[in-house]
Amino acid sequence: MSQPSKTTSASTTSSRRPSLFIVESPTKAKTIQKYFGDTFIVCATVGHIADISAADNAVELANDFAVTYELTPAGKKAVSELRKEMKKCDEIILATDADREGELIAALVVEFLRPAIPVKRIDVLSITKSAIEEAIRNSRDIDQNLVEAARTRRVLDRLFGYQVTDIARKKVRGNTTAGRVQSPALRLVVEREYERIAFTSASYWDVAIGLDTSPAFKATLTRVANASTNNMMLTVATGKHFDDRGLFTANATEVVVVDQLTAERIASTLSRPSSVVEVRDVASKPAKRNPQPPFTMSSLLQAAGNRLGMSAAEVRSAAQELFGKSHITYARTDNPVHSPSSRKEIRAEIAKIFGADKVAPFERYASSKGKNTQGAHEAIRPTRLDKRKLPNVTPRQQALYDLIWQRTMASQMIEAAGITLTVTLFADLSTDQCEFTATGTTYNEPGFLAVYAATGEEGDDDLAIFPSLSIGDELPVSSAEAKEHRTLPPARFTEASLVRELERLGIGRPSTYTSIIEKLHDRYVWSKQGDRALIPTVTAFAVHRLLTTWFSDLIDYEFTNQLENNLDHIAEGASLRSSVLNEFFFGTSDVVGLQTLVSDAADNTMWNEMFALELGTHPETGEKMVVRPGRWWQKTKTYSPYIECGQLQKSIPDQMAFDTLSPTDVAMLLTLPRVLGQHPDSGVDVVAQLGPYGPYVKCGAEIRSLVRDGALFAITLDEAVTLLAAPKKARSEKKWTAKKKGSGKKKK
């Protein structure tokens, strides 16, 4: 709990003692204390002070799911501090967040504090002095419907988390967890990987030409007629014309797949001196672009991830630092609307910096909150719009602040307006008739894009400036290149795209997204160095198999979203608590409840079945590659995970992290031992292999260890011969060298 400010002098000299002002966040407490000085003693609970007891019977199933709450260790300290400060005060003002969780915190504070002085509950949607004063003038009682919704959510999470996690730990492995919202997020990541494994890439070609004009521009082959099309002008195929199996799905009478021979023939012909193309059409249409809404926590996570490469944890930490230093408003909000006073201030600042003509003629994004928005705080914004360069912040914090400042200002500015121009070019070649297209947008009224002029953050569309063109003009070709394209599998989720998908599906709330991602990183996903894509581990596949086998309805996206809607209904006053919990746990005639699902899973699941994980097919043999958890070897008597591909079985070495194996890794392991060739002196095979102590090369009796990462699959015959010719190191020296170079067993 945060320490209250020293305000005892005011309480002894004034006839009225201060109010005990309670919030969740220490940074909020500091900001509010600055505003009000001795008027308040501001304390922070630092989140929830109590939780459902950890005892197995904490949720009384036979007593309408009644629960026992206990103070957390931090909560005991917080309540003790609050009781001490309460003795100095005339009233308590509960200013925790105006959402379900904030309401529950307020209720639990009253429950455990048992105050003998008046209690006010207020809704503070913006951490400004005027907003807090307005909230105090409109105080209310604790909303028991909101409290009930929060309690119900916690019971649902406890039932799911405890029961399904127990099964996962018994049937998969000991450090796994499951959660009502975490598990659907895991499902998204794993099923995206299955889509990638099943994906078959297809190849198609096009031709790009450069035009020797002023200014120069480029165009791409979009239609072609030749002997293969019966001399009919057909649309050139792109990636959208192929399915995930690599099959061409378009109508062959309308679309043609250009092959390498055709593309290279067209490019070669147009590369000849004096080649020209004719302008067949110049079409223009108005282009308009509106600014995006102000930042919520969710959209900030996405924007900072995509533009700044920041992880969810880094964004949360940087935003908390900025809030703690009073540079931005509270960031953990799901409300994309600024308060009326904030909008007025933003519009005035736009007029001052960019001119009154750049202020939108109406207040943008002033509508009420959306269906799933709890709206405990206004949208994120700078506390002082005239402040651009911040003191005592890191470069990453400054970059995040710039993003927030830009989005805030842009949200109340006029749209960008301009023209989108499409130029169609024609070339009549000896064997082919070709149509090329170039498209670009030019904004003659930048509007809100003026905010981003310095960085280009939002103005990075494919802009093209064309010369003055007329139909019939012949344009000289400066370059022509045949280009191969391959269809790509669905991209893996990044933290930003996963947040966007969770939000789209209505799963979870912005305040939970960061913790969900942290749990996935802790147990189920990893990322390659320099890459933000979330790659599921083998354990993730195993837990997914368990969940989809026995709990598919409970991790269904629509079901999870409906539960959130039910909680909203409870918060609005609907008497749904008992029916929601009973249906979830005990089930109905139409719905199988959690209790039955857990029992069935416990009785009918063999733990080693979960790890029988198919990782696609071998690129050469077409046989299924399967990872299994382990077996007893007849010689070594060791138990270790292994790969199975047809009749071939190969143990996964300790040096390779079992949880981070990919189909490519498995296929490469199946190539071992690698015969690099014959030694030039002895004619004996030189082999690269994995052994108990790591990778090595061998030629006859000579063995040398490999310590460089990836050397096992990259080393050449010449490199291996050079290594074998070097003096053999003593084992102690090898260990010291390997340790110094950071080799050895990978961390999972």
Active site residues: 330
Query: Which is nearest to 659 in space by CA: 631, 691, 633, 627?
Result: 627
Compute how many other C-beta atoms are within 10 angstroms of the C-beta atom of residue 532.
17
CB 54 within 8 A of CB 68: no
Tell me whether residue 84 is exposed, middle or buried, using C-beta atoms within 10 angstroms of its C-beta: 0 to 12, 13 to 18, 19 or more: exposed
Give residue 716's identity as a one-letter amino acid code.
Answer: T
Distances (CA, A) of 450 to 353, 441, 459, 481, 674: 11, 16, 9, 36, 59
CB 114 within 8 A of CB 108: no
CB 179 within 8 A of CB 522: no
- Which string of DSSP letters, residue by residue, matches 56-109? TTSEEGGGTTEE-EEE-HHHHHHHHHHHHHHTT-SEEEE---SSHHHHHHHHHH
CA dihedral 314, 316, 321, 322 (to 10 degrees): 110
Tell me the two tokens of residue 129.
């002095």
CB 40 within 8 A of CB 87: no
Alpha-helical segments (H) within 489-617: 495-505, 510-523, 538-550, 557-571, 577-585, 594-604, 607-610
Give residue 331's identity as a one-letter amino acid code.
Answer: A
Tell me the two tokens of residue 171.
């049937």
CB 281 within 8 A of CB 424: yes
Tell me the two tokens of residue 677.
């060739």
Alpha carbons within 13 angstroms on the beta-carbon side of residue 742 total 3
CB 454 within 8 A of CB 475: no
CA 462/CA 356 separation, integer angstroms: 29
Distances (CA, A) of 685 to 168, 699, 708, 725: 47, 6, 22, 15
CA 600/CA 171 separation, integer angstroms: 13
Ranges of beta strands (E only) in 402-539 are 416-428, 433-445, 474-486, 525-526, 535-536
Backbone angles phi, psi at 72, to 5 degrees: -75, 165
Cis peptide before 215 (omega within 30 of 0): yes
CA 519/CA 513 separation, integer angstroms: 10
Query: Which is nearest to 434 in space by CA: 216, 220, 230?
Result: 220
CA 583/CA 562 separation, integer angstroms: 13
Query: Which is nearest to 659 in space by CA: 541, 545, 533?
Result: 541
Query: Which is nearest to 450 in space by CA: 337, 387, 357?
Result: 357
Alpha-helical segments (H) within 138-198: 144-171, 182-198
- Which string of DSSP letters, residue by residue, matches 603-667? HH--HHHHT-EEEEE-TTT-PEEEEEEEEE-TTT--EEEEEEETTEEEEPPTTS-GGG--HHHHH
Tokens 């890191």 found at: 394
Tokens 């993003």 found at: 403
Query: Which is nearest to 142 in space by CA: 100, 177, 179?
Result: 100
CB 720 within 8 A of CB 676: yes
CA 685/CA 673 separation, integer angstroms: 11
Alpha carbons within 13 angstroms on the beta-carbon side of residue 444 total 6
